[in-house]
Amino acid sequence: MTHSKYTNQIVQTHQRSSRGGHQIKYFQLHHMASTDGPGVVRMMTSGAREVSANYAVYSDGTAVCVVDEDLRAWTSGTGVQDSEAITFEIANDNTAGWSVSPASHEKVAMIIADAAKRYGIPITRDRIYGHNEMTAKFGTSYATACPGGLNIDWIVNRANQITNGASASAAKETPLVATPAEINQIVKAIMDAPQPRMTTDGKSTGKFDNIGGVLRYEYSKYEALQKQLVDMQKQLAAQKTQTAEVSKKLDQVLTALTKK
Ligand SMILES: [Zn+2]
């Protein structure tokens, strides 16, 4: 079960087969000839048409892994080319010009950068091709306008940038998580930070304490106050008990007086 870390959804299909021992060497790019990404994924999974792709990418950049990378997707109808490639069906954002959104371009580049690293595929224009290049390149497939307005040169360039250290968009979206060691370092830095020591009327003494010391001092004052509060509560409870006893005695005396 292999898919890119940039996958947003996994939708399994039976419309797939084994790679038959072929090594993954290429990335094969198609446009959906549709703006309805989820609709095309339904077509890839419902049996309505014998088509599929390793990845379907929507115009908002959502990447759906439909066929696991370990398996051959039924994308171009040519066994060897599908077996040797990770294939993409990319949604159009406009049917008039068959354009493809910037978000889709970015996501395809991210997945290519990631997969190229995992399979040791060079990120070159030779290894990343569009459907309409297959006839000239392999003598397979047919004349087609696919992949529409997809800019493959841009994708090759961007995938190289990502590989060479430019951050991928998804990485920017990932929340930062500090390790416990980093958190300890930050806490120590805060605790050691100098804090100007002030007089009680708010004037600078020209001396410094570290914040940790100030915090510990303030906390000790807070603890002392809390202790006082607990003591006061105890005293109050004791007084209540006394009051109740006195009032009970008064009642007894009153009752005795009334009887006489
Ligand atoms: Zn195509």
Per-residue pLDDT of the chain (260 residues; tens, 9 = 90+): 899 999 999 999 999 999 999 999 999 999 999 999 999 999 999 988 899 999 999 999 999 999 999 999 999 989 999 999 999 999 999 998 899 999 999 999 999 999 999 999 999 999 999 999 999 999 998 889 999 999 999 999 999 999 998 776 654 444 456 777 778 888 888 888 877 778 888 888 878 778 888 788 888 888 999 999 999 999 999 999 999 999 999 999 999 888 86
How far apart are the C-alpha atoms of 209 and 193, rounded to whole Å?
Answer: 8
Indicate whether 51 and 162 sit together in one domain: yes
Residue 48 lies in a domain: yes
Indicate whether 146 and 212 sit together in one domain: no
Under 8 Å between Cβ of 115 and 167? no
Residue 183 lies in a domain: no
Indicate whether 200 and 161 sit together in one domain: no
Indicate whether 66 and 114 sit together in one domain: yes
Indicate whether 238 and 158 sit together in one domain: no
Indicate whether 163 and 251 sit together in one domain: no
Distance 98 CA to ligand 1 centre (A): 12
Q: What is the pLDDT of residue 171?
A: 46
Distance 65 CA to ligand 1 centre (A): 17
Q: What is the pLDDT of residue 173?
A: 47
Residue 185 lies in a domain: no
How far apart are the C-alpha atoms of 2 and 86, rounded to whole Å?
Answer: 11
Token representation of residue 177: 């998580």
Residue carrying the six token digits 């950049």: 61
Indicate whether 245 and 131 sit together in one domain: no
Residue 188 lies in a domain: no
Indicate whether 129 and 217 sit together in one domain: no
User: Which residues form the domain of 142?
Assistant: 9-173
Indicate whether 160 and 227 sit together in one domain: no
Distance 72 CA to ligand 1 centre (A): 16
Whichever domain contains 81, its CATH number is 3.40.80.10
Indicate whether 140 and 61 sit together in one domain: yes
Distance 134 CA to ligand 1 centre (A): 10
The pTM of this model reads 0.65
How far apart are the C-alpha atoms of 91 and 79, rounded to whole Å?
Answer: 23
How far apart are the C-alpha atoms of 213 and 193, rounded to whole Å?
Answer: 10
Indicate whether 162 and 43 sit together in one domain: yes
Looking at the 3D structure of the chain, how many domains does it have?
2
Distance 49 CA to ligand 1 centre (A): 14
Beta bridge partners of 18: 71
Distance 88 CA to ligand 1 centre (A): 9
Indicate whether 80 and 51 sit together in one domain: yes
Tell the burial category of 52 from Cβ atoms under 10 Å away from its Cβ (0-12, 13-18, 19+): buried
Residue 178 lies in a domain: no
Q: What is the pLDDT of residue 24?
A: 98
How far apart are the C-alpha atoms of 99 and 112, rounded to whole Å?
Answer: 20
Distance 99 CA to ligand 1 centre (A): 14
